[in-house]
Structure 1
Amino acid sequence: MKIPILCLAGMLLTVLFIGTGIFFWMRGSLPQLTGNIQIQALQERVDVIRDDQGLVTIKAQNKYDAYKALGFIHAQDRLWQMDFMRRAGSGRLSEVVGEATLNIDRFMRTLGFQKLVEENYEILSPNVQKAFVAYSAGVNAYINNHTSTLSPEFQLLNYRPEKWTPTDSLLWGRLMALQLSDNFNRELLRQRLLNHLSPEEVDRFWPQDKNDPQIIASFDLSKAVPQGIFAGQHPLPWPLAPKDASNAWVVSGNKTTTGKPILANDPHLALDAPGPWYLVRIETPDYTWAGATSPGVPFLVLGHNSHIAWGFTTTHSDTQDLFIEKLNPDDPNQYLTPEGYKDFEKSIETILIKDQPAHELTVRRSRHGPILSPVLNGTANKEDGHLLALSWTALRKDDLTAQALYDINYAKQSEDFSRAVKNFHSPQQTLVMADRLGNIQLMAPGRVPVRKQGDGRYPVSGWTGDNDWVGIIPHKDLPKSLNPVDQKLVTANNKLVSDDYPYLIAKDWPNSYRARRIHQLLDQSDKLSVEDNLTIQMDTLSIAALEVLEILLKTPTTDPESETIKQKLSEWDGQLSLNATEPAIFYHWIYWLNRAAFGSLPSDASSFQTANILRLQRRLSERPDSWCLYGEKLVNEDNCVAQMTESLRRVASNYEQLDKDITWGELHSTSFKHQIFDRIPILGKLLKLKIATPGGHDTINRASPSMKNGDLWRFPNVHGPSYRAVYDLDNLDNSRFLIATGQSGNPLSKFYGNFLLRWRDGDYVKLDGKKVEKNAQHLTLSAKKTNETK
């Protein structure tokens, strides 16, 4: 049946009319950026200025009004992100999302973050508690006063946010501790491999980096023999899953053109939309802060306070252990201890699920910590008389990390900073600091366990007491350095201590490639400028690629196409730049070598399809005749040399099919994932923030490629700098900043993705508070008069 043209036109006009109506209705979710808003919680007027990039300056007459204003502004731009964070941390996602997030909620309820932060809050000082209360008042002022439409996520999920509470802000710290602590996940992986391989062979998959430039001048503790049990996988999605990488360095005034220190920092996290950071400048009569805040948190997390500047990287310490608990065969409610059988601590968690009956979860705790086995993926009905319990320093009731962050915000010199970080309990971080007096400092505060025996790499028996923790490394003995003789401090997650350090911080450390490259570039000049440090942050040379190519280029060839590939890579300078083609060839070869080296590992081959060059390099160099023992056969021969040749041949044959005009940047593009929009096919494509990117897994400009894509030539960038900053201690207003995506979390805002190009290209901004532009938007927050004050 044919539809008349007039009828079709009418239908199209109707759709257009409805779509236009929805669009203008949803525009009501955008915040008010000008005029005056009365807030009852304020003591005095606060001015909020947004420039043409969405960068915010808050001018307040006292710090508590500043916290209230920050809470209000965060809620204006990022309320759904804040709500998603607290629901994730408290195990309440399923209430609004449905059964799809039940496994996440079960895991979070087992960890018990909600009760934990309530206990943590009670021991904070009154000043810190008042700051959290003030921030919450600002968030709630927005929730209560915003009578128009809320941001699109609330509409799609059909719910309204609850009142914000001070302990909601503390959930952010526990989630960050979880993301920056990968030890238990690695223990699970090792245990799964151990069911098929010997401990010696498993250990070879985590090689030690012999070239690490140690920052500060461990011993090997005896390894406890693990028991053979089934170990599942954590249930967390990529944004919440453990991952870690960051760069930070600081040089003293003797090495700078200004005569004062320069500090650089770029923490690396999952690349999501919106990003985890919100840039702000806050001015009060006593302090001025500028840098990165996290929506949901009242304090500056990274930045400067007009006296000092500071930055973080993950220490990569081993602060988690999995203990194997043995069940009483006659009573599953008990587990074995050195003193005999003991009852589990138990609680019932009721998880509400949208459009479904509630789910009841029994959470058990042993003397070592929460029992994880029932909430790990793949462990259903496989307890076999044993359970895994998690000991983790971040689960202690007396954690004062929020207190430390508050005190860092008010430190004026290195001594204040040193006192502040004593309460920085979890996760252990390596902090760098510089003050305007010229001091530079590195400290690694945090609670790191001292074990009776073992080195934390494998799950250990919990019933004997032989593997228990016997204490925490004393704060005074943690790694630190103040004003070193070589005038610089560098940390990039690499090994922090030398072999004679008297405690075990970690047995496994990330590779040293980024740290070594930073040292190379810092040492190229006697006097470094701010601009020099910006250039270093954007560096894309891969030491890893150049070193492994020394092995790969010796590969025998059987065809001219393979020889051409070898020649092309032999002339490559190791730069993973935007318009190069060699990086695509290189990572394609790494892809096939990973399959040849690890593709048949029992149960866990996919865990080794990564961009870990050090692991592959050591396997190739130290086991030249047997590196392919656990690999997929690329050619039907047992000879590893034949597998190497075939890996190169596959690269060469596929290269002929590749459009030679396609660059590394395009093949390595970043798609910033949104937790809701990406799940809706058409909407996800319309709102996708995507950009071509340079760099690689081991470059200073971190851009870690995923190696699990079905299209062998495409390696999406999934992990990199969420924030970049370079601080000029001679003139802190000359400091430079960058975040990924933009300030707003609302896709209808012009500030949702406006930083993409700047982030990719290193086009930094200042937070100097001096820009007065015609298109700057001024909002006044004023105290709402009550009946008593009228």
Structure 2
Amino acid sequence: MKPLFFCLAGLFLCVLLLGSGMFFWLRGSLPQLTGSIQMDNLQEKVDVIRDANGLVTIRAQNPNDAYHALGFVHAQDRLWQMDFMRRAGSGRLSEVVGEATLNIDRFMRTLGFRELVEANYAALPIRVQNAFKSYSDGVNEYIDNHASILSPEFHLLNYQPEEWKPTDSLLWGRLMALQLSDNFNLELLRQRLLKHLPVEEIDAFWPGDNKDPAIIRQFDLSKAVQKEIFADKHPLPWSLAPKDASNAWVVSGDKTITGKPILANDPHLALDAPGPWYLVRIETPDYTWAGATSPGVPFLVLGHNNHIAWGFTTTHGDTQDLFIEKLNPDNPNQYLTPEGYENFEENTETIFIKNRPSQAFPVRKSRHGPILSSALNNSSNKSDGHLLALAWTALRKDDLTAQALYDINYAKNSDDFLRAVQNFHSPQQTLVMADRQGNIQLMAPGRVPIRNQGDGRYPVAGWTGNNDWIGIIPQKDLPQSLNPQNKKLVTANNKLVDGDYPYLVAKDWPNSYRARRIHQLLDKSNKLSVEDNQVIQMDTLSIAALEVLDILLMTPAVDPESEVIKQKLSDWDGRLTLNATEPVIFYHWIYWLNQAAFGNLPTDASSFQTPDILRLQRRLSAKPDSWCRYGEKLANEENCVAQMTESLRRVASNYALQKNDLSWGELHSTSFQHQIFDRIPILGELLKLKIATPGGHDTINRASPSMKSGGLWRFPNVHGPSFRAVYDLDDLDNSRFLIATGQSGNPLSKFYGNFLLRWRDGNYVKLDGTSTENKVQRLTLNAKNTNEN
């Protein structure tokens, strides 16, 4: 027995020593934060100062040195994230990951982002190209000369990063355009449903505003659309797949305590670790910038300079269409056009795969855009002689969105801002701006197509020319407002235009719940403070829940437990707070009702697994006797009224089993996903950033619960504010900021997850160039041809 004990003890000690040695070795991947570094391509000295939270202030004597320093700092803290972005956009993940990412690479190669950004970069003016070059020099300074080892992901995947090129930074913009443009994915879903359901039923799944204008005449669905063209969903993972939602608003000085505007913005993205944003303050003799940068990009994406503040939300403009191309039956390399058959543009892409033979595949384009069929999972069947092509304004070679972002950074007033956004081409965004002169402004720039006919909801025949794009909505005619009479501008992805607007921006718009709640809170006071706006950003009252409860609470209760549930929800104020139990009951009931309404859809039921409360509410109201037609039959009940009662009984029964003490925060936690660590057993759990969260899908403090396991009473928060900011135009240094995780992408850094509690609880920070803590780290970057001082 003793020899076995000593053997096990020795083995344990060896593992402990090995683990400790590995830990201390990996600690060497943390960057140098103090002292000085000699650098090429710098003109003058730059100071990089980090405070106790890891917040960075860059002090440079000219903008290009500032861009250089920012590239270096981004690489210090987020190089692997930058490289993953670059590989994802280029379709080169499989080189380092293996076959698991092959479908992603095929999809990205089909879109052709790598070649596209080369053309986009060539179209930029020299001043903007120089900024990208300076930034790239800074990134490469770290790649070539870092004194430490690289972050753990590089060692786990066993590869070294390549030189950073200016065009690599433009890939971020194309990936964001992809994440913020969801129409073609909805077209694919509708096409799958069309094989089994009539158009009228499918359209009812996306209830629109009753005041939607019929701007362009509805097209007749051709036989081609009704063909069973297989169109599976696109293969992107959650972190890269299209998502929506953001809040932004601005009030004029007439509604604030200072007499100057206040602007608030919180973009909503997937909750990943590290997050998409990096907070920084940049000071030069002529300009100061503060706000959110994105690792890989040299400019401030969201923030303020000396003169203006700005923010973004997604407009949901429909900038994508799927065209069905008809193949030449005698020559599969040709497709039909109004002028006859034409050859596809074609090239061969080769994907290198780690530990596997490389794969070559053809990429084809029609006159409408890239052929997606071969890049969509399981959709290579061409027996019907048709293929799907994607038309998308973000695929144009003359896209100048990077120039627009550069010019926004240097804008001094509303006129400058207006000129800058003329080149904001994709994705279409709704921008809010305030300047120190007191102006407030909203604009929705971007290239939005004008269709010859149709409304962009379904794939259309590509060979007739009847459905082609015939132009782009002129920038001057896109939705915009300057200094409105009601002294406020609010956008939360809700509908921007009314019936008098002469163009079709989109047929489908997200619901107005968050926008309506923002308006309610802004109207409570005529003298708003920065702190008032912070409170609004953290608001957890759900108008959606309160409105649908008016219907749910009419459900007959068949037992005492069900009556208890109804009473609890009737007394609920609609707030999804951490300690409340009512949100657990509510979302569990919504889960079962959603299953009863949509659970047996013949195709792609997964698209309806996360309930849309507006969709469910409209269906319950409009079809009280048939709303459950496409749903799971709960307890073999066929009658929809009985389904309501049965869903309530299920909730009551499960609630009683759970001992009535489950809080929303406990069951609605956020686990920030890491693309590599989460795929490694044990290590993924050890490095997990996880926190209980308030809010819901339709609250201002967005916290979308995943409903895939509602029967297990777990509703993980998967989508919410990746960044929050409130800008004080009276004193821009008084502006407030939050990011979701931390500044560092290295899990061994104290700055990896240090913002979690602040983000959850709304404990904002300032980027005012001073430190409230004694602990400050200063790194000096010196030009090699100057003396250190």
How far is the alpha carbon of 1:306 from its aligned partner?
1.4
How far is the alpha carbon of 1:19 from its aligned partner?
1.2
Counterparts of 1:474 and 1:15, CA distance in 2 = 66
Tell me the secondary structure at the aligned position of residue 83 of structure 2: helix
Counterparts of 1:627 and 1:330, CA distance in 2 = 48
Counterpart in the other structure of 2:217: 221
Counterpart in the other structure of 1:76: 76
More moved, 139-148 vs 81-90: 139-148
How far is the alpha carbon of 1:41 from its aligned partner?
1.6
Tell me if the contact between 2:253 and 2:260 (Cα under 8 Å) persists in the aligned partners: yes
How far is the alpha carbon of 1:709 from its aligned partner?
2.0
How far is the alpha carbon of 1:711 from its aligned partner?
4.8
Letter in 1 for 2:6: L
Tell me if the contact between 1:227 and 1:461 (Cα under 8 Å) persists in the aligned partners: no
Counterparts of 2:10 and 2:553, CA distance in 1 = 66
Counterpart in the other structure of 1:466: 466
Tell me if the contact between 1:322 and 1:388 (Cα under 8 Å) persists in the aligned partners: yes
Counterparts of 2:729 and 2:49, CA distance in 1 = 25
Q: 1:115-194, aligned counterparts within 5 Å?
A: 115-194=115-194
How far is the alpha carbon of 1:662 from its aligned partner?
2.6
How far is the alpha carbon of 1:224 from its aligned partner?
4.0
Q: 1:712-731, aligned counterparts within 5 Å?
A: 712-731=712-731
Stretches of structure 2 that go unaligned for 5 or more consecutive residues are none
Q: 1:434-583, aligned counterparts within 5 Å?
A: 434-583=434-583
User: TM-score under structure 1 normalisation?
Assistant: 0.98
Tell me if the contact between 2:194 and 2:226 (Cα under 8 Å) persists in the aligned partners: no
How far is the alpha carbon of 1:383 from its aligned partner?
5.1
**Shift in alpha-carbon separation, 1:772–1:698, aligned structure 2, 3 A:** closer
Counterpart in the other structure of 1:777: 777
Tell me if the contact between 1:177 and 1:426 (Cα under 8 Å) persists in the aligned partners: yes
**Shift in alpha-carbon separation, 1:88–1:659, aligned structure 2, 3 A:** farther
Q: 1:302-317, aligned counterparts within 5 Å?
A: 302-317=302-317
Counterpart in the other structure of 2:749: 749
Tell me if the contact between 1:413 and 1:435 (Cα under 8 Å) persists in the aligned partners: yes
Tell me if the contact between 1:491 and 1:515 (Cα under 8 Å) persists in the aligned partners: yes
Letter in 1 for 2:456: G
How far is the alpha carbon of 1:718 from its aligned partner?
0.2
Tell me if the contact between 1:224 and 1:453 (Cα under 8 Å) persists in the aligned partners: no
More moved, 605-614 vs 621-630: 605-614
How far is the alpha carbon of 1:382 from its aligned partner?
5.0
How far is the alpha carbon of 1:219 from its aligned partner?
1.6
Tell me the secondary structure at the aligned position of residue 390 of structure 2: strand
Tell me the secondary structure at the aligned position of residue 713 of structure 2: coil
Q: Which deviations, in whole Å up to 9, do the C-alpha atoms of 1:199-243 show, x marking residues without a partner?
A: 11100000013499xxxx952431341332221110000000000
Q: 1:152-301, aligned counterparts within 5 Å?
A: 152-210=152-210, 219-225=215-221, 226-228=225-227, 229-301=229-301
Counterparts of 1:188 and 1:487, CA distance in 2 = 41
Counterparts of 1:440 and 1:52, CA distance in 2 = 35
Counterparts of 1:716 and 1:208, CA distance in 2 = 28
Tell me the secondary structure at the aligned position of residue 66 of structure 1: helix
Tell me if the contact between 1:35 and 1:778 (Cα under 8 Å) persists in the aligned partners: yes
**Shift in alpha-carbon separation, 1:329–1:211, aligned structure 2, 3 A:** closer
Tell me if the contact between 1:218 and 1:501 (Cα under 8 Å) persists in the aligned partners: no
Q: Which deviations, in whole Å up to 9, do the C-alpha atoms of 1:597-643 show, x marking residues without a partner?
A: 00111012221111310000000000111101111100323210011
Tell me the secondary structure at the aligned position of residue 68 of structure 2: helix
Tell me if the contact between 2:584 and 2:662 (Cα under 8 Å) persists in the aligned partners: no
Tell me if the contact between 1:542 and 1:696 (Cα under 8 Å) persists in the aligned partners: yes
How far is the alpha carbon of 1:139 from its aligned partner?
0.2
Letter in 2 for 1:54: G
Counterparts of 1:686 and 1:223, CA distance in 2 = 55
Task: Please state if 1:43 is matched with 2:39.
Answer: no
Q: Which deviations, in whole Å up to 9, do the C-alpha atoms of 1:292-347 show, x marking residues without a partner?
A: 00000000000000100000000000000000001111111111111111111000
**Shift in alpha-carbon separation, 1:616–1:772, aligned structure 2, 3 A:** closer
Counterparts of 2:786 and 2:281, CA distance in 1 = 30
Counterparts of 1:463 and 1:208, CA distance in 2 = 30
Q: Which deviations, in whole Å up to 9, do the C-alpha atoms of 1:43-96 show, x marking residues without a partner?
A: 110001100000000000000000000000000000000000000000000000
Tell me the secondary structure at the aligned position of residue 58 of structure 2: strand
How far is the alpha carbon of 1:659 from its aligned partner?
4.0
More moved, 305-314 vs 659-668: 659-668
Counterparts of 1:710 and 1:489, CA distance in 2 = 37
Tell me if the contact between 1:227 and 1:460 (Cα under 8 Å) persists in the aligned partners: no
Tell me the secondary structure at the aligned position of residue 139 of structure 2: helix
Tell me if the contact between 1:262 and 1:727 (Cα under 8 Å) persists in the aligned partners: yes
Q: Which deviations, in whole Å up to 9, do the C-alpha atoms of 1:685-729 show, x marking residues without a partner?
A: 000000000000000000000011265311100000000000000
Task: Please state if 1:409 is matched with 2:409.
Answer: yes
Counterparts of 2:580 and 2:557, CA distance in 1 = 24
**Shift in alpha-carbon separation, 1:362–1:2, aligned structure 2, 3 A:** farther
**Shift in alpha-carbon separation, 1:768–1:380, aligned structure 2, 3 A:** same
Stretches of structure 1 that go unaligned for 5 or more consecutive residues are none
Counterparts of 1:148 and 1:521, CA distance in 2 = 50
Letter in 1 for 2:416: D
Counterpart in the other structure of 1:663: 663
Q: Which deviations, in whole Å up to 9, do the C-alpha atoms of 1:4-51 show, x marking residues without a partner?
A: 433333222222211111111101100000000111121110001100
Tell me the secondary structure at the aligned position of residue 226 of structure 2: coil
Tell me the secondary structure at the aligned position of residue 334 of structure 2: strand
Counterparts of 2:116 and 2:691, CA distance in 1 = 39
Counterpart in the other structure of 1:88: 88
More moved, 223-232 vs 37-46: 223-232
Counterparts of 1:368 and 1:6, CA distance in 2 = 72
Counterparts of 1:661 and 1:718, CA distance in 2 = 23
More moved, 19-28 vs 726-735: 19-28
Q: 1:323-402, aligned counterparts within 5 Å?
A: 323-382=323-382, 384-402=384-402
Letter in 1 for 2:692: A
Q: Which deviations, in whole Å up to 9, do the C-alpha atoms of 1:174-215 show, x marking residues without a partner?
A: 000000000000000001001101111100000013499xxx
Counterparts of 2:786 and 2:62, CA distance in 1 = 20
Counterparts of 2:275 and 2:513, CA distance in 1 = 26
Letter in 1 for 2:377: N
Letter in 2 for 1:219: I
Counterpart in the other structure of 2:102: 102
Counterparts of 2:601 and 2:382, CA distance in 1 = 21
Task: Please state if 1:57 is matched with 2:57.
Answer: yes
Tell me if the contact between 1:312 and 1:430 (Cα under 8 Å) persists in the aligned partners: yes
Task: Please state if 1:689 is matched with 2:718.
Answer: no
Counterparts of 1:246 and 1:422, CA distance in 2 = 22
Counterparts of 1:33 and 1:599, CA distance in 2 = 54
Tell me how large the CA RMSD over aligned residues is.
Answer: 1.4
Counterparts of 1:349 and 1:778, CA distance in 2 = 46
Counterparts of 2:2 and 2:354, CA distance in 1 = 43
**Shift in alpha-carbon separation, 1:621–1:92, aligned structure 2, 3 A:** same
Counterpart in the other structure of 1:702: 702
Letter in 1 for 2:139: V
Counterpart in the other structure of 2:679: 679
Q: Which deviations, in whole Å up to 9, do the C-alpha atoms of 1:475-516 show, x marking residues without a partner?
A: 110000000000000000000000121000000000000000
User: TM-score under structure 2 normalisation?
Assistant: 0.98
Tell me if the contact between 1:329 and 1:385 (Cα under 8 Å) persists in the aligned partners: yes
Counterparts of 1:635 and 1:661, CA distance in 2 = 27
Counterpart in the other structure of 2:590: 590
**Shift in alpha-carbon separation, 1:431–1:560, aligned structure 2, 3 A:** same
